[in-house]
């Protein structure tokens, strides 16, 4: 058999990695290579070095170490029963690609995951070897994200956390039943156990020893996970409920939602649909409201009857439309918590409103300058020179925001 070129491997193993939504490289420990003895830096906020035509950020070299896999997850292009071409990178090849891409300013670092070959431990050990080589031999100070294998040995996870900025383990699907049905070799409990383990190691690395020394930091950019949505029948309420628990129980940095997307070689168990991109978008918005805007889970999911978010309007607007009695709010007087509920006002806008109104009376055009999305906010606020009158209660308010219904044609 002729040996596969690195380029061909890269094609296969990046194609296999694209269904992982995360490409984040932010929020890790600050470091640089000014001392001249290494390569790379991390300054807190991540950088997207390119955007693919799917609009997604390309920040990391996101590849699989190998797409050989002995598991048979129905949604996954790498499952043992799929007919895609297979490849496997050597440790050297991954290290070399990472360093050379980094030096050319293509990437912030590496996001490495893998199909499961031989045994979970052997797979994880190879991934750790790559990270170790990058850090020790190449003195690489860029970003490393490792997708850990759920039942790999604890020593391997311990070392992975010291080498990588972020660790992740995918919960894969929103409910345990779905995982059992579509990822038969995986165990939801084991996945949660692995997440708990990472959380504890991270917590432990924060405690100073009795001499006041800090242990080396463990996965400083935290852990994240991903859920595929639209492959099983879970409602948004179920999905958001699951992520709320994940954020709470394991202190996750991020839960990624990945719209189930057609794959080149599908399984009969999971017929293909076009990916529910709008739903994915609404879930991210709801996720944001839960984490940064003080919304409770049932406030968001109670606006619809079937437990799914309104696809036509964003979840904050949907909530406001259902709670018109609370509006309009006076931007010069309302407490911060209420301002955060105004559609069109982001966290930054609210912060600016609160700081500016201390020394001046806010008028409508001030708000424009501050950067509120005023078209959206109009019906819900009172400001100097602006009152929405009967607009807030008007029956057609929703129609103002919802996209027009699809045009009907003669049948």
Q: Which of residues 161-190 bind ligand SF4 (CB under 6 A)?
A: 183
Site string for ligand SF4, 97-116 (x = CB under 6 A): ------------------xx
The 8-class DSSP code of residue 69 comes to -
* Positions in 23-82 near other proteins (CB under 8 A): 32-41, 43, 47-58, 61-62, 70-72, 80-82
Between helix 91-103 and helix 6-15 the angle, nearest 10°, is: 90
* Positions in 287-346 near other proteins (CB under 8 A): none
Largest CA distance in the chain: 80
Minimum Å gap between C-beta 285 and ligand SF4 is 27
* Positions in 99-118 near other proteins (CB under 8 A): 100-101, 103-106, 116-118
- Is residue 228 within 8 Å of residue 255, measured between CB atoms? no
Task: Identify which of residues 82 and 378 has a Cβ nearer to ligand SF4 in the complex.
Answer: 82
CA distance 409 to 411: 6
Count of residues engaged in binding ligand SF4, rule: CB under 6 A = 9
The 8-class DSSP code of residue 360 comes to S
Q: Which residues contact 62 (CB under 8 A, 6 or more apart)?
A: 14, 17, 18, 20, 23, 111
Binding of residue 369 to other proteins (CB under 8 A): yes
Residue 141: closest CA among 22, 10, 35: 35
Binding of residue 147 to other proteins (CB under 8 A): no
- Sheet of 166-168, strand order: 60-64, 109-113, 143-147, 166-168, 223-229, 254-259
148 binding partner (options ligand SF4, other proteins, none; Cβ < 5 to 8 Å by kind): none
Binding of residue 79 to ligand SF4 (CB under 6 A): yes
115 binding partner (options other proteins, ligand SF4, none; Cβ < 5 to 8 Å by kind): ligand SF4
Minimum Å gap between C-beta 151 and ligand SF4 is 11
CA distance 403 to 398: 10
Minimum Å gap between C-beta 115 and ligand SF4 is 4
Binding of residue 370 to ligand SF4 (CB under 6 A): no
Residue 55, token pair as written in the block: 């609009």
Angle subtended at Cα 315 by Cα 171 and Cα 224, rounded to the nearest 5 degrees: 25
Which segment (75-83, 237-245, 269-277, 327-335) binds ligand SF4 by CB under 6 A?
A: 75-83
Residue ranges that bind ligand SF4, judged by CB under 6 A: 69, 71, 73, 76, 78-79, 115-116, 183
């Amino acid at each position: 058999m002729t040996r596969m070129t690195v380029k061909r491997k890269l094609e296969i193993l990046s194609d296999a990695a694209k269904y992982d939504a995360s490409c984040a490289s932010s929020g890790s420990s600050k470091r640089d290579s000014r001392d001249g003895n290494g390569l790379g830096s991390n300054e807190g906020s991540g950088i997207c070095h390119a955007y693919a035509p799917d609009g997604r950020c390309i920040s990391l070299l996101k590849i699989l170490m190998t797409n050989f896999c002995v598991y048979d997850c129905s949604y996954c292009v790498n499952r043992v029963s799929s007919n895609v071409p297979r490849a496997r990178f050597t440790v050297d090849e991954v290290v070399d690609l990472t360093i050379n891409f980094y030096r050319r300013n293509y990437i912030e670092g590496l996001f490495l995951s893998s199909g499961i070959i031989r045994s979970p431990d052997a797979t994880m050990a190879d991934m750790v070897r790559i990270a170790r080589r990058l850090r020790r031999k190449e003195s690489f100070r860029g970003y490393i994200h490792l997708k850990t294998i759920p039942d790999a040995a604890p020593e391997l996870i311990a070392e992975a956390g010291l080498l990588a900025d972020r660790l992740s383990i995918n919960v894969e699907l929103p409910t345990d039943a779905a995982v059992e049905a579509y990822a038969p070799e995986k165990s939801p409990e084991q996945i949660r156990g692995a997440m708990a383990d990472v959380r504890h190691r991270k917590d432990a690395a924060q405690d100073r020893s009795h001499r006041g020394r800090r242990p080396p930091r463990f996965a400083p950019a935290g852990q994240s996970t991903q859920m595929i949505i639209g492959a099983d029948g879970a409602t948004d309420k179920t999905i958001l409920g699951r992520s709320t628990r994940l954020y709470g129980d394991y202190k996750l940095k991020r839960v990624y939602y990945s719209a189930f997307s057609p794959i080149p070689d599908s399984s009969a168990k999971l017929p293909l649909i076009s990916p529910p991109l709008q739903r994915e978008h609404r879930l991210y918005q709801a996720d944001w409201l839960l984490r940064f805007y003080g919304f409770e889970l049932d406030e968001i999911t109670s606006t619809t009857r079937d437990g799914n978010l309104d696809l036509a309007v964003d979840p904050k607007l949907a909530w406001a439309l259902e709670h018109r009695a609370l509006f309009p709010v006076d931007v010069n007087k309302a407490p911060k918590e209420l301002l955060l509920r105004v559609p069109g006002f982001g966290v930054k806008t609210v912060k600016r409103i609160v700081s500016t109104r201390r020394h001046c009376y806010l008028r409508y055009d001030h708000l424009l300058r501050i950067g509120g999305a005023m078209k959206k906010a109009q019906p819900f606020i009172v400001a100097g020179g602006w009152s929405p009158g009967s607009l807030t209660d008007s029956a057609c308010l929703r129609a103002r925001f919802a996209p027009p219904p699809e045009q009907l044609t003669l049948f």
